[in-house]
Amino acid sequence: TSTQKATWSFWVKMANIRYDGNDYFLFSSYSDANSRMHIKIDGSGCLDINERISSSVSINLITTRKLRDTFGWYNIVVAIDTTQATESNRVKIFVDGVQETSFSTSTYPSQNTTTAWNNDANHYIGRRGYANTGFVEGYMSEVHFVDGQALDPSSFGKSGKGGKWIPKEYKGTYGQNGFFLDFKDNSSTSALGEDKSGNSH
């Protein structure tokens, strides 16, 4: 549907964050060494969103906040809309319903950039795209990829008792290449990846 607008929403519970320089890739896309993207928790525990297009870095956002909790779940939402006039609106990151605004590094894409998100390249969940490394040590659930829309966290979660952020059913559409993985059927590796969005598995 679009290579300029997309949303990732997922829940992750890290079983191990060593802070020893090892990166944990939540999502990645890889066309070649010069065209790739990722969402990862870096070796210091910061959330890192990066994209390269034809060797040039178009997105490089690293939060100052560190995701240190290995007991609870985090809901992470990354919304892309490169058509926005204000550069900080072109990539938005939310953790447990709250937008991240403090970054140690902040590079935003140019307006109307065609991104590697949803482009014609392999996309990966829970690992590095260009090498058999960077596996998430933990659990992932409620994985949504929405093609063609930049959504906020209220589409995927809500405040529960005591203000705790909890998941809710997504009622929207997914676009041509969007998907929803709930991982309910673990009878086989292929069943585990069944898409519940209505698009092809």
What is the 8-class DSSP label of residue 109?
P
Q: What does the alpha-carbon distance between residue 28 and residue 50 come to, in Å, rounded to a whole number?
A: 9
> In one letter, which amino acid is 199?
N
Burial 120-158 (b: 16+ CB within 10 A, else e): ebebbbbbbbbeeebebebebebbbbbbbbbbebebbbe
Q: Which of 157, 125, 129, 111 is nearest to 33 (CA)?
A: 129
pLDDT in tens, 163-200: 999 999 999 999 999 999 998 888 887 788 889 998 87
Count the Cβ atoms, other than its own, within 10 Å of residue 117. Answer: 25
Rg (CA), the chain: 16
Query: pTM for this one?
Result: 0.93
Tell how far CA 177 is from the center of its chain: 15
- Quote the mean pLDDT of the chain: 90
Average pLDDT of the segment spanning 137-165:
95
Dump pLDDT digits (tens) for 50-104: 998 877 778 999 999 999 888 899 999 999 999 999 999 999 999 999 999 999 9
The CA distances from residue 95 to 8, 36, 51, 114, 172, in Å, are 12, 23, 20, 25, 20
